[in-house]
Amino acid sequence: MAAPAKDAKKAKFEEDLEVEADLEGDVEAIEVEADDSGSSTEDKPKAKPLRMKVSRAKERALMREFGIDDTALSEEEVNKRRQELKTLIKMGKTRGFLTHQEINDHLPEKLVEAEILEAIISMLNDMGVAVYEQAPDAATLLLTNQATSTATEEEAEEEAEAALSTVDSEFGRTTDPVRMYMREMGSVELLTREGEIEIAKRIEGGLQAMMLAISASPTTIAEILSLADKIRAGEMTISEVVDGFVSESEADDYVAEEDFDEFDEEDDDDGQGGSKALTKKLEELKNVALDKFDSLRGHFEKMAKSFEKDGYKSASYNKAQQGISDDLMTIRFTVKTIERLCDVLRSQVDDVRRYERELRKIVVDKCGMPQDQFIKTFPPNVLNLKWSEKEAAAGKPYSAVMTRSLPAIQELQQKLIDLQAKAVVPIDDLKGINKRMNEGEKASRDAKKEMIEANLRLVISIAKKYTNRGLQFLDLIQEGNIGLMKAVDKFEYRRGYKFSTYATWWIRQAITRSIADQARTIRIPVHMIETINKMNRISRQHLQEFGFEPDAPTLAAKMEMPEDKIRKIMKIAKEPISMETPIGDDDDSHLGDFIEDTNNTAPIEAAMQAGLRDVVKDILDSLTPREAKVLRMRFGIEMSTDHTLEEVGKQFDVTRERIRQIEAKAIRKLKHPSRSDKLRTYLDNL
C-alpha cells in the first residue's frame, strides 16, 4: 500500500514543476527519492528543489522557433568538435587534399551549412589543402603540385592546432544580439515555486534591511512625513508612494494551490466597473496609509523630544526609534519612494566623504603630514576645531604650512559640524546607517536580478504572440522585460500565486502599451487605443451575428457614446498609407502621383484662366480708357478688391450717378457680338 502512495506523491510533485506556456514538457525535475528499506527516512521531510531543468532538446526547439538553430555547446560537445576538425585538418595536410564527402563526414551537424562550409573550404585552401569532389589521381596531383606539398605527421599536428583557434573564433562565437541573448537566457535554469518564494523572501529581506537602516535616520523620516503631507493635501496619489502593507497574520511559508483560467488577450478594457473598484481600493489604501503615517509622526515627535531632553541613543530615544521601525516594517513603499529615501541618506554621506577628501588633500598633499599620522589622529578629531591648531603648533616639518592653511581646514570641519547637526546623527553612525542600507540594497538587487533572469523565457513566450503589430521582435522583448522588472518589484509571494501567473499581466501590459504608443506612424493616446480596440471587438461581434458591418449609430448605441464621437473614433482608427506605395506591377508609378493637389491650380484651369485674362484685357483695351478703368475698379479686375460707386466717383471726382452711367454704357459695348463672342467660350466652362 505504501508504493502507490509514494507514486501519487511523486506524481503530484512533478505536476507542480510543470513548465508553463510553450515551455511545457521535457522537464527534468529532480526526483524525490524514497527509501523503501525503513520508515525512519520517511519521517524526515525532503528538501524541495529550487530549480528545474529544461531539456536541451526543448531549448533547441525554442531557438529554432525564432530562427536561431545553435545553442551554447557543452564542454563534451566542444571537445568532440575540436577533435573532429583536428583530424580533418591533419588528414588534409598529410595527403595534400580532401574531398567534400570527407569534410561532411568529419564536421558536426552544426557546421554543415552552405556559408560555414564555404568558409572552412576557403580556410583549407589557404593552408595549402585542395578540396575536390572526388579523390584525384596521381597525374592530377602532379599537375597541381599537390604531391610535393604534403606535410609530415608532426607538421600536420602543429598546423591543425593553429587552425583550431581560427575555427573556434569563427564559428564558436557570434555578434548577433538575438543569438547572444538566447544563449545567455538558456544558461539559467527555471525556478520551482519554492525557488520563487526563496528569492522573494531574499528581496523582502533586503528591502526590510534598507528600511530598518533608513528608520535610524531622522532626515529620511522627515522626508516620509513630508510625502504623507503631500498625499493628504492631494498633491500626490497614494499609489506613487505606497504599494501595500505587510500583515503580521500572514504566514511566511504560506503557498496556496491556485487554479487560473487562460486569460483573454482581447480583454484589455476593464470598463467603468473596474475603474470604480480601483478608485475605492485606492481610497482605502490612502486611509490606512495616513493612519500609519500619523502613528509614525507621533513616534517621530517623541524621538525629537527625547533627543532634546535626554540626548542621542537614550532609552526613551531608542524606544521611539523602535516604534518608528515597527511602523515602517508594515508599509510596502514603491521602488521610486525607496530610491528617493535612499538618495536623501546617500547625499548626506557623499557630502561627508567629499569634505573629508578635501581635508585630506589639504593636510596630507599640501601641508605634507604623513598619511599614517593623518589616519591615526584625524578620525577621532573630525569635529574638533582645536585639532588643526594643535598640529600646527606641534613643531613638526608640516606645521608651518599647516598654520597658513588653518582657515581652510577649520572651514571644512565647520561644514562637517553643520552637516551632523542637520542629520541629527553622529557622522560615524551616519556612515554605519549608509553601510547597512547599501548591504540591504545589494541583497535585494541581486535577488531581483536572479528572479528576472530565471523568467526571461516567459517574456519570449508572450512577446512572440505580438509580432507583426508594428514593433520588431527584439523591441517587444525589451518592453516585456521592463514589465517583468515591474512585476518583480510588486510581487507578493504571501498571496500564494505563482510568479509567472502574476508577471504575465505586467508583461502583457508593457508590450501592448508599447505597441499602442510606438507602432503607429501617427501616435494615438493609449486610452484612445483602448477605445478603438473595444469598438473593433463590438464590430467583429456584430459581423458574426448579423453578417454585415455595423454603422455609426449602431456602434454608438452598443458603446453608449454619442454618434459624432464614434465617427471621430472611426476616423482616427484609420491607418496612414505611404505616398511612396507602388501602384501596379512596375515601380514607375506611386500612390502620390494619383492624389489631387488641392493647394495648387490644375494645369488646364491655369491655362483657361490665363486665356481668359488675355481676352478680358483685349476687350477692355477696345473701350475708352475712362470706361476701362471704371470697369476694372468696379469688378476688381487686376486689382486686389472691387470698389463701390462712391469710391470710384471720388477717384474721378464725379458723382456716383455719373459713374453708374459710364459703367452701364461700357457694359452695353461689351454685349456687342464682336466682344461678347470672345467671352462666351469661357462662360460655358465656368
The confidence band for 49, taking pLDDT boundaries of 50, 70 and 90, is low
Predicted confidence (pLDDT) at residue 349 exceeds the cutoff of 70: yes
Predicted confidence (pLDDT) at residue 416 exceeds the cutoff of 70: yes
Q: Are 337 and 230 within one domain?
A: yes
The confidence band for 147, taking pLDDT boundaries of 50, 70 and 90, is very low
Q: Give all strands of the β-sheet with 190-191 in edge-to-edge order.
A: 27-28, 51-54, 190-191
Greater model confidence, 410 or 9: 410
| Domain assignment of residue 185, yes or no | no
What residues make up the domain containing 476?
455-519
Q: Are 243 and 311 within one domain?
A: yes
Q: Which helix (H) or strand (E) holds 28?
A: strand 27-28
Q: Are 48 and 162 within one domain?
A: no
Write down the pLDDT at residue 483: 95
Q: Are 426 and 402 within one domain?
A: yes
Amino acid letter, 157: E
Q: Which residues contact 552 (CB under 8 A, 6 or more apart)?
A: 563, 566, 567, 570
Cα 529 from Cα 180, distance rounded (Å): 34
Q: Are 357 and 323 within one domain?
A: no
620: number of Cβ within 10 Å: 19
Q: Of 572, 596, 620, which residue is a domain's last?
A: 596
202-222 average pLDDT score: 90
Asked if residues 104 and 179 have their Cβ atoms less than 8 Å apart, the reply is no
Q: Which helix (H) or strand (E) holds 456?
A: helix 456-463
Q: What whole-number percentage of the chain has pLDDT above 90? A: 22
Write down the pLDDT at residue 508: 94
Q: Are 370 and 425 within one domain?
A: yes
Instruction: Kindly report, residue by residue over 174-187, the tens digit of the pLDDT.
Output: 566 777 787 778 77
Q: Are 231 and 125 within one domain?
A: no
Q: Are 230 and 286 within one domain?
A: yes
Write down the pLDDT at residue 26: 37
Cα 255 from Cα 252, distance rounded (Å): 9
Q: Are 202 and 160 within one domain?
A: no
| Domain assignment of residue 69, yes or no | no
Cα 365 from Cα 362, distance rounded (Å): 6
Rg (CA), the chain: 42
Least confident of 5-19, 142-156, 187-201, 599-613: 5-19
Least confident of 22-31, 63-72, 390-399: 22-31
Q: Are 298 and 226 within one domain?
A: yes
The confidence band for 351, taking pLDDT boundaries of 50, 70 and 90, is very high
| Domain assignment of residue 445, yes or no | no
Asked if residues 265 and 463 have their Cβ atoms less than 8 Å apart, the reply is no
Predicted confidence (pLDDT) at residue 110 exceeds the cutoff of 60: no
Write down the pLDDT at residue 39: 43
Instruction: Kindly report, residue by residue over 534-587, the tens digit of the pLDDT.
Output: 999 999 999 999 999 999 999 999 999 999 999 999 988 887 888 888 887 777
Sort strands 27-28 and 51-54 into parallel, antiparallel or unpaired.
antiparallel
* Residue corresponding to grid cell 578620525: 379
Bridge partners (DSSP) listed for residue 27: 54
Q: Which residues contact 535 (CB under 8 A, 6 or more apart)?
A: 555, 559, 566, 569, 570, 573
| Domain assignment of residue 499, yes or no | yes
Q: Which residues contact 58 (CB under 8 A, 6 or more apart)?
A: 23, 25, 26
The confidence band for 507, taking pLDDT boundaries of 50, 70 and 90, is very high
Cα 289 from Cα 471, distance rounded (Å): 40
Greater model confidence, 120 or 478: 478
Q: Are 148 and 128 within one domain?
A: yes
**CATH number of the domain where residue 582 is located:** 1.10.10.10
Grid cell at residue 181:
541573448
Cα 20 from Cα 263, distance rounded (Å): 13
Q: Which helix (H) or strand (E) holds 191?
A: strand 190-191
Report which of 292, 307, 286, 293 is spatially closest to residue 217, judged by C-alpha positions: 307
413-440 average pLDDT score: 91
Instruction: Kindly report, residue by residue over 310-323, the tens digit of the pLDDT.
Output: 888 888 888 998 99
Write down the pLDDT at residue 21: 36
Predicted confidence (pLDDT) at residue 92 exceeds the cutoff of 80: no
- Cα three-residue angle 223-228-232, rounded to 5 degrees: 150
Cα 475 from Cα 483, distance rounded (Å): 13
**Phi and psi for 377 in degrees, rounded to 5?**
-100, -25
| Domain assignment of residue 446, yes or no | no
Q: Of 298, 320, 341, which residue is a domain's last?
A: 341
Predicted confidence (pLDDT) at residue 497 exceeds the cutoff of 60: yes
The confidence band for 462, taking pLDDT boundaries of 50, 70 and 90, is very high
Greater model confidence, 433 or 599: 433
Instruction: For the full predicted model, state whether its pTM sits above 0.85.
Output: no
| Domain assignment of residue 365, yes or no | yes
Number of independent structural domains in the chain: 7
Q: What whole-number percentage of the chain has pLDDT above 70? A: 76
Predicted confidence (pLDDT) at residue 440 exceeds the cutoff of 90: yes
| Domain assignment of residue 117, yes or no | yes
Q: Is the sign of the CA dihedral 672, 677, 679, 683 positive or negative? A: positive
Q: Of 341, 360, 395, which residue is a domain's last?
A: 341
Predicted confidence (pLDDT) at residue 12 exceeds the cutoff of 80: no
Write down the pLDDT at residue 481: 95
* Residue corresponding to grid cell 529581506: 205
| Domain assignment of residue 397, yes or no | yes
Provide long-range contacts, Cβ within 8 A and 24+ apart, for 428-431. 429/216, 430/217, 430/345, 430/348, 430/349, 430/352, 431/349, 431/352
The pLDDT mean for the chain works out to 78
Q: Are 204 and 105 within one domain?
A: no
Predicted confidence (pLDDT) at residue 130 exceeds the cutoff of 60: yes
In our burial notation (b when 16+ CB lie closer than 10 A, e otherwise), range 530-542 reads bbbbbbeeebeeb
The confidence band for 36, taking pLDDT boundaries of 50, 70 and 90, is very low
